[in-house]
Amino acid sequence: MPARRRLSPAYHWTDEKTVAFIEALAATASVSAAAAKVGMSRQSAYRLRARLDPEFAAIWDGVAVLARRLHTARRRR
């Protein structure tokens, strides 16, 4: 069996990346943009969401709703 390739630590979610992702999600209202901002993929963000406790998903949902409302309000001005 071939040895498993170890990924660089840069490809792992850390507490700092998770917080920065939520901050970027609040600023952009885009999962793809927020994940890219912290050097991760949209798919890995959704895997993280599924892996962490339900409280994280609730925070994500709340931030996303507020961000969309803010972006919508800004466009109406």
Give the range among 7-16, 21-30, 33-42, 54-63 with minimum mean pLDDT: 7-16
Considering only CA atoms, which of 39, 28, 31, 36 is closest in space to residue 57?
Answer: 31
| Amino acid identity, position 74 | R
Q: Are 13 and 48 in contact (CB under 8 A)?
A: yes
How do residues 45-69 score in pLDDT, each as one tens digit? 999 999 999 999 999 999 999 999 9
Q: Where are the domains of the chain?
A: 15-76
pTM: 0.82
